[in-house]
Amino acid sequence: MNPLLFSLNQLIDFQNIKIEHIEEIKDKSIAKLNEALQEIYQIEAQSRTFGNTMMAYDAIINELSSISSLLFLLSSTVVNDDLRNKSREVVEELEKFGNQLGLDENLYLAIKTYSQTAEAQTLTGYQQKLVIETVRSFEKNGFALPKEKRAELQQIQDQLSEQNNLFYKHIAEYQDVILITEKEMEGLPEDFKKQHLQADGSYKIGLEAPSYTPFMQYAHAEEPRKQLYLKFLNRAADTNLAVLKTVLSLRQQMVELLGYQTFAAYRNEDLMSKKPENVWNFENSLKEKIRPRAEEDYRELLAIKREKTENPNAQIVNPWESGYYRTILLREKYSVDPEKVREYFSLDNVLNGLFHISAQLFDTQFVEIEKPSVWHQEVRYFEIRNIADNQLIGRMYLDLFPRPNKYNHAACFPLIQGRETENGYQIPVLALVCNFSLPTAEKPSLLRHSEVETMFHEFGHALHVLLTQSPVAIFAGTNTARDFVEVPSQLLENWAWSYESLSFFAKHYQTNEVLPKSMFDKMQAAKELGVGIFTQQQIFYGTYDMTLHDKYDPNSAESTTDIIKRLQNEITLFPYVEGTHFEAAFGHLMGYGASYYGYLWSLVYAEDIFSVFEQKGIMDKATGIKYRNTILAKGGSEDEMQQLRNFLGREPSETAFLKSLGV
C-alpha cells in the first residue's frame, strides 16, 4: 500500500510515506509514462485528435508534475533526513525524465503532425493556445538542432536540474546562529527572549525569519545586529557561490546551443515582456522615478539615527540599522508600536479573516478537517467548497512554523493541478509553507503586520490554484506567464490594508477588541514609510537577476558578488558591505531566473485591478465573482493581457501603481 499510488481525487496519506514508497513511485511513474508515450507514438497521422494527442500529452505532464511536486514538498519540509534526501534525489531523476520528454523526437513529431491536421486548424481558445505553445516549446527546446546537438542539450539540462536542486538544498540545510548576553537582548519583547533563552543563560538567535526579523527591528545593541546581518547575507556562501556560477554557465551554454544570445532573451520571449529590452526599460524608468522618494525615506532614517546616537555628523545608515531605526520611527513619529499591533493578529484570526473575505468575494468556504494524515504534526488540512452548491473544489495544507531543514521562506506549493478527465474534474491540491512565529504557553502565534501581508500574498496564490477551471493541467492555476503569476498574490495584499476587511478579523488575542480605527489610521499613515527604499530594493533584485542572465559572462573574471557590489551601490542608498554574498541564498535565481522583475511588473496590474475594487467596494461580491471568473479561473488558458482587458473593460494602466508608490 503505497500512499503515493493514489487515484483521482483520493486523499494522500502523507504520514505513512516511507523511503521504499518513494523509490517505488519513481519506477512505476516512469513505466506508466513510457507506456502512455508509446500510445501517443502509435496513433496513425490521420487518426490524431485533440483528445488522443493533446489531452494525452497533458495527462503525461500532469502525472510527472504531480509526483515531482509532492516529492519536492517532502524534500522541503519533512524532518526525517533520509526521507527528505531520498525525495530530493528522486525529484532530480524525475526532472531528468522531464528534460528527456522535452527532447523526445517521437513526441514532438506526434504533436507537430497533429498541429497540421484539418481539426487542429479549426481550434480556438485554450485548445489552439495549447497546440501553438506546445509546438513552440519543443522547437525552442532544440528541434531545430541535429540529433547529436539535442543529446548535448539534454546533458546540459540534466546538469542544470542537479545544480538547481543542490542550490535549494544548501539554503534549506544551512544553519548558523549568534550567541549573545542578556545585556545584548535589550529592546527585545519578553516572549521573544523566553523563546531564545539557553540553559546557560545566553541567548541563541538563528537566521530563520521569526528570529532574524524581530532581532533586527528591536535589538538596541548594534554589534550583534551587525553580526547577525553578516551571517544572514552569507547563508550557503560556502557552497552556493560555486553552484550559481555553474548554473549561469550551463544556462548560457544551453541558450547558445539553441541560437539565443542570452538566457534572458530565451526566457522573456514567452513572457508578457517578450524581450529583455522591455524589462530594462521598465526597471530603468522606475529606478529614476522612485529615487527621490527613496532619498526622502533615507533622510528620515538618517535624522532619527543622528538623534538617537547624539551624533549630528552621522552620514550613513548601515543596512543592519535600517529596520531598527524604521521601528523607532514607527513608534515615535507615527505612534505605531509593531508589538502592540501584533496583539490584534493572532494567526487563527488572520486565517479566519482570509476565509471570510474569500466567502464574501468568491463564494468559497474553507472547512478544516480534524486529525488529517500529514507530513508533520503541525500541518493543518482544509477542504474548499463552493458555498452555492457545497461542491468540493480544492484541498489546502498549511505548514506555517519554522523547524530545522525546512524551506525557510513563504511559498505556495501547488501539488496537484486542476484538469478535466474522463472521470470528472481533478481537484487541485496545494500546500502553503511559511515560517511564522510559534505560539507559546502564554500566547498564540501573533503575526507582525508584515507577516499578515505575507499570509495574504500566499493565499492569493492559493486562490489562483484552487479556483482554476482550466480544462488542462498545463494551464491550471499559477501556470501562467512568470511575469503575471504574482498578480493575484499582490492584489490580495490590499485587503490587509483596508479597515473594512481588517475589522472582520483583527481582534485582540485576549479581549477580542477590534483593532481600533485610531491605531489603523496611524498604521496607514506609516505605510508610506520606507516605500521608496523597499521599491529600490526590488529594482535591485530584478536588475541583478537580469544582469546575470543578460549582461554577464559567467566565465569571465568578474564574480557574481562583484556585480552585487556594483549594482547595490548604483541602485540603492545602502552601500554594499564587504565580505557578504547575498546571492548565495537568493533562491529566486533558480525558478525565477531572468524573471524576478515580474514582482514589480505584476504589481502594475495588481494595483490596476484593485482600483476597480476600490471603485465598486472592496467586499463587492459581483466584482469578486467577475475577478474569479475572468482571471483566477483562467490560469494560463487565455492570454494574460486579454484576461486583464476582460476584467478591467479597458487597457491596463500604470496610474494606480505609481500612485501606490507615491510618485
Rounded Cα distance between 232 and 146, Å, is 46
310: how many CB neighbours lie within 10 A of its CB?
7
Specify the pLDDT at position 441: 86
Q: If we measure between CA atoms, which residue out of 523, 524, 493, 502 comes closest to residue 603? A: 493
Specify the pLDDT at position 496: 98
Direct distance between the N- and C-terminal alpha carbons of the chain, in angstroms, rounded to an integer: 60
Residue written as grid cell 476565509: 355
Question: What pLDDT digit, counting tens, does each position of 175-186 carry?
Answer: 999 999 999 999
Specify the pLDDT at position 454: 97
Angstrom distances, CA of residue 126 to CA of 61, 140, 273, 473, 522: 16, 20, 21, 11, 47
Strand, helix or coil at 56? helix
| Residue pair 48/114 in contact by the 8 Å Cβ criterion | yes
Specify the pLDDT at position 560: 98
Domain boundaries, the chain: 14-144, 175-232, 241-311+531-590, 347-527+599-660
> HSE of 545 in the Cβ direction (CA atoms, 13 Å)?
27
Handedness of CA 484, 487, 489, 493 (dihedral sign): positive
Judge whether residue 217 has pLDDT over 90: yes
Strand 392-399 and strand 429-433: the pairing is parallel
Judge whether residue 662 has pLDDT over 90: no
Bridge partners (DSSP) listed for residue 420: 425
Rounded Cα distance between 14 and 18, Å, is 9
Q: What is the chain's mean pLDDT, rounded?
A: 96
Question: What pLDDT digit, counting tens, does each position of 97-149 carry?
Answer: 999 999 999 999 999 999 999 999 999 999 999 999 999 999 988 887 888 89
| Residue pair 70/374 in contact by the 8 Å Cβ criterion | no
Question: What pLDDT digit, counting tens, does each position of 474-483 carry?
Answer: 999 999 999 9
Q: CB neighbours of 162 closer than 8 A, spacing ≥ 6? A: 92
User: Which class is 347-527+599-660 in CATH?
Assistant: mainly alpha
Backbone angles phi, psi at 610, to 5 degrees: -65, -30
Q: CB neighbours of 555 closer than 8 A, spacing ≥ 6? A: 249
Rounded Cα distance between 84 and 71, Å, is 9
Specify the pLDDT at position 389: 96
Can you tell me the mean pLDDT for 551-558? 94
Can you tell me the mean pLDDT for 24-49? 97
pTM (2 d.p.): 0.93
Specify the pLDDT at position 143: 87
Specify the pLDDT at position 138: 94
Specify the pLDDT at position 190: 92
Rounded Cα distance between 548 and 592, Å, is 12
Backbone angles phi, psi at 644, to 5 degrees: -65, -45
Strand, helix or coil at 489? helix
DSSP state of 418: -
Helix (H) or strand (E) holding 203: strand 203-206
Judge whether residue 361 has pLDDT over 80: yes
What CATH number belongs to 14-144?
Answer: 1.20.1050.40
Q: What grid cell was written down for 140?
A: 525552442
Specify the pLDDT at position 28: 96
Question: What pLDDT digit, counting tens, does each position of 299-342 carry?
Answer: 999 999 999 999 999 999 999 999 999 999 999 999 999 999 99
| Residue pair 318/476 in contact by the 8 Å Cβ criterion | no
Question: What pLDDT digit, counting tens, does each position of 532-542 carry?
Answer: 999 999 999 99
List residues with catalytic annotation.
458
Strand, helix or coil at 50? helix
Q: If we measure between CA atoms, which residue out of 466, 390, 387 comes closest to residue 628? A: 466
Judge whether residue 594 has pLDDT over 90: yes
Judge whether residue 640 has pLDDT over 80: yes
Can you tell me the mean pLDDT for 568-592? 96
Specify the pLDDT at position 595: 96
The letter for the amino acid at 320 is: W
Strand, helix or coil at 45? helix
Strand, helix or coil at 40? helix
Confidence tier at 1 by pLDDT (50, 70, 90) = confident
Q: CB neighbours of 418 closer than 8 A, spacing ≥ 6? A: 394, 425, 426, 427, 428, 465, 468, 469, 470, 473, 476, 477
Angstrom distances, CA of residue 356 to CA of 418, 447, 505, 520, 533: 24, 18, 9, 20, 33
Can you tell me the mean pLDDT for 384-402? 97
Q: What grid cell was written down for 27?
A: 519506477
Confidence tier at 584 by pLDDT (50, 70, 90) = very high
Q: CB neighbours of 311 closer than 8 A, spacing ≥ 6? A: 305
Handedness of CA 656, 494, 357, 126 (dihedral sign): positive
Strand, helix or coil at 625? helix
Question: What pLDDT digit, counting tens, does each position of 423-468 carry?
Answer: 999 999 999 999 998 898 889 999 999 999 999 999 999 999 999 9
